[in-house]
Structure 1
Amino acid sequence: MTDPLILPVDIPTLALSRGVMQMMLGGLLLYIGSRHADSPGARWWAIGFLLNGLSLFVFPLQVPAAWEQPRTIVNHLSVGTSSICLLCGFWTFGRQPFRRGLLLLLIAMPLTSLIAFELLWPNARWRILLTAGSQAIFLLGLQHSLGSPRRVELAVIGQRLRVVVLLFLAVHLWSYGSLADVLPTTARLNLGYHRTIFSVASLLFMLSLAVGCLALQFALLAARSADLARIDWLTGLLNRRGFFHAAAQPAASDSARATLIALDIDHFKQINDCYGHAAGDQVLQRLANLMRQHARPDQLLARLGGEEFCLLDSSQSPINARQQAETLRQACAETTVRVGTDDVRFTISVGVHQQGPGQSLEQALARADGALYLAKRSGRNRVAVDELSTDGRHGATPVGGAVCVDRLDISDIGVLFAKIQSQAIYLGTDRGVA
């Protein structure tokens, strides 16, 4: 006498319900994905859930004997293709390369099971086990893909999905291990319990996977919204908020001696007054493009406000920064911006400062601004360097061997004016202001 089933579940009805639910989830993913920037990944997910739902939908249907074999073929091939689509969705979403060999294996195994154990040597047990083996490989591939999130904001969701995948993989191996008679008798259960546990586990897994896909899309959308709040809409560079946020990240804050280059467009108000604000916007965009061309990938570029820009490097020396600033200054002076029938020329003034021990980023930026202010007062279209002197004080060092101001203190503007008026300070060549 068999033990009564504690959880009486109608397996065909449960399979049919799972199929309908997964097709509905596929439709939901398709709808949301069509309104999302990463719609290709969502479309792959949607197709995967629709195909998996189709495989479950046809499984419990009562069909004539002549339709048994076509139903089996649809069931197995739908399982294989749904696994391919789901993996392609995660690879597309995560911007990971497609592993064509794995995709070929996922469809080859159920296809081989149909040819070998459905058509040539009918054996339902081995047919099911071979297709189930492809599902185990799919779960391992999914586990690997989730371990490489495209953004740090998605890492937590990926980690939780990996736990779900591992749990279901254990149930999957237990279930089909029992079918293959490779497990000890103590690990086997009554057939009713076996089917119930596996069906419920499959339902929960696919539901969790669908929720995870939705969560990944919404988390990416939230991360991009945060990015937009840190990006200057006109130039595409970081804004002030984004600059300080990026500078506080471990990769940018490892070095306590960061070098800052502060830039400002000379007579920018006159450009707006003479040629219009649209021309001024084009000049700002051109300067941003020149900064990108003359910067390394690891340097932070920002528009701090108006016509003021900044470049931060966590590893470069003031000498190299000064050379970079001078190269950028020359490039700007030689650039022409076409505005209608007019050619607009512009120049920049630049201040360079290396962050000192115990100096905050705000203080270092103020120093770079002070050097920039000195370059402005010295005739514009110049580079000034505020660097640490031998006595531990900061001083403004000109480019080109001109007179050096002993101590640049932006809090004492009167003293600075007096020194500028009493000495001819030249910090580079003056090519005029556009």
Structure 2
Amino acid sequence: MSGASAFFILIPAMYALFTTALIVIAFVDRRLIAARWAALGFFVAFVSILVDGLRDPGGDRWVSWFTVATHFLPLLIMVQAFLSRHGKNAPAWACALFVLASIYVMPNMPWAPPNWLRGVLVQATCATIIASGLLPLWRYRRQSVVDLIAFAAIALACLSYVGRSVVIYITPIGESAEAIQQFYNGLNIAFHSASALMGMTVGIVLMMTIGSDIVRLRMEESEIDPLTGLANRRRLERVNAQDAAGKLSVGGVIAVDLDHFKRVNDSFGHDAGDEVLRKVGSKLNKLFGELGTVCRTGGEEFVILLDRDHVAAISQLSSAARVAIAGLRFDGVLSAVTVTASVGFHERGEDEEIGNAIRRADQAVYCAKTDGRNRVVGVMNDKGFHVLRAVA
């Protein structure tokens, strides 16, 4: 070990600390996929830097190759950790680059590059692997301050490796044992210092993002109706706030109210009523889960906030909801029961508040109820006037 032995003890110790903390977090909440990836990434980095610190710079070249390959790998894993927060994976081409670059820098091979080119390629490969996560993370930067910080941390790490490849190109590594030793006593220490700082920064940012995810998951739990698994009124309020802030675009509202639901509870008990609500909620989520936000707002009442991209078909979708609910079949004591619903909809105006759109859809439901139930009524805009019109 060189005179910088203390340096090569502190770095793996820091990586081991991050690994331990992330393993604990991942164990406590198994939904945090990013914590698992991050723990794996820091563990691989811990092994890599430990081996690099203990090896003889002029010794076995396969040990040197191992430290290079295990330098590529944690960078790829860290990109995956950040992307997994959004349900995405690292690009396949980045994985292929990791494999090909690891093969190309193998020692004692006919294609083995000279030291200076090997050094440039290693740093450039690291920069490219990190860059593979920049475009996806750029798309999410506006979701929260934490996402913007995550993008900035990845961008800075990428620039760090770009700078290293330029430095090695300007001051190339020689081929002699003395030149290699000089590199390890000079630039390599500087590179490891940069890696330590980058690793600590990325670790802190990852802990921030995972902490943000924990808060978000807890918030989402409080916004889920435990019976149906749909969003509740609290989520409805948050969607309203996000729409007002320009983060969402709700184009219309479909309101659904089950007909004579009290009779089900009175005749068959609340357990049977709960089963009806669960099945209706599951059917509505299947129909509209990809088209907007499906909420149970109370009792037998449901509201769908339809994305603006799908609002052109709001009348047909409302009719589909009515037909789907009427087509539900139940087991046991409910086997002979047919559940119907009165459905109302309203296409939201450009500057109309969501709350007002929901009230208009509710008015349409009331009209459908008075018109005999198991109906679909829409609030239409006719020459500047809002008109109730039966659709089905």
SS in 1 for 2:29: coil
Find 1:224's aligned residue among 217, 225, 231.
217
1:22 is the counterpart of 2:11: no
Residues 150 and 39 of structure 1: CA distance in aligned 2, closer, same or farther (over 3 Å): farther
Q: Which runs of 5+ in 1 are unaligned?
A: 1-8, 183-189, 400-427, 429-434
Find 1:103's aligned residue among 88, 95, 101.
95
Aligned to 2:143: 152
SS in 1 for 2:227: coil
Aligned to 2:164: 172
Bigger Cα displacement from structure 2, 349-358 vs 10-19: 349-358
Residues 172 and 31 of structure 1: CA distance in aligned 2, closer, same or farther (over 3 Å): farther
Q: Does the 8 Å contact 2:314/2:347 carry over to 1?
A: no
Within 5 Å, give how 1:229-378 maps onto structure 2: 229-247=222-240, 248-249=242-243, 250=246, 252-253=248-249, 258-295=251-288, 297-313=290-306, 314=308, 321-339=314-332, 342-355=335-348, 359-378=352-371
Structure 1 counterpart of 2:104, which letter?
Answer: T
Find 1:138's aligned residue among 126, 129, 133.
129
SS in 2 for 1:384: strand
In 1, Cα distance between equivalents of 2:315 and 2:48: 66
Q: Does the 8 Å contact 1:302/1:311 carry over to 2?
A: yes
TM-score, L = length of structure 1: 0.72
Structure 1 counterpart of 2:6, which letter?
Answer: T
Structure 2 counterpart of 1:157, which letter?
Answer: I
1:338-395 C-alpha deviation (Å, 9 max, x unpaired): 24574432221223344457643323322322232233234333333444456x5544
Aligned alpha-carbon RMSD (Å): 3.9
In 1, Cα distance between equivalents of 2:323 and 2:55: 80
1:90-117 C-alpha deviation (Å, 9 max, x unpaired): 4544433444443233244344334248
In 2, Cα distance between equivalents of 1:113 and 1:156: 35
CA deviation after TM superposition for structure 1 residue 279, in Å: 1.4
Q: Does the 8 Å contact 1:262/1:308 carry over to 2?
A: yes
Find 2:72's aligned residue among 74, 77, 80.
80
Q: Does the 8 Å contact 1:240/1:303 carry over to 2?
A: yes
In 1, Cα distance between equivalents of 2:310 and 2:135: 37
TM-score, L = length of structure 2: 0.79
Q: Which runs of 5+ in 2 are unaligned?
A: 175-182
CA deviation after TM superposition for structure 1 residue 304, in Å: 1.5
1:138-180 C-alpha deviation (Å, 9 max, x unpaired): 3333444543449923522322213431442354235423541
In 1, Cα distance between equivalents of 2:366 and 2:206: 51
In 1, Cα distance between equivalents of 2:57 and 2:359: 83
Q: Does the 8 Å contact 2:16/2:46 carry over to 1?
A: yes
1:247-302 C-alpha deviation (Å, 9 max, x unpaired): 55236547xxx443322112212211222222112211222233345448334422
SS in 2 for 1:283: helix
Structure 1 counterpart of 2:157, which letter?
Answer: V
Q: Does the 8 Å contact 2:19/2:42 carry over to 1?
A: yes
**Total equivalences in the alignment:** 379
In 2, Cα distance between equivalents of 1:150 and 1:305: 35
SS in 1 for 2:337: strand
SS in 2 for 1:204: helix
Q: Does the 8 Å contact 1:15/1:56 carry over to 2?
A: yes
Q: Does the 8 Å contact 1:279/1:339 carry over to 2?
A: no
Residues 178 and 262 of structure 1: CA distance in aligned 2, closer, same or farther (over 3 Å): same
Structure 2 counterpart of 1:268, which letter?
Answer: F
Within 5 Å, give how 1:398-413 maps onto structure 2: 398-399=390-391
Structure 2 counterpart of 1:155, which letter?
Answer: D
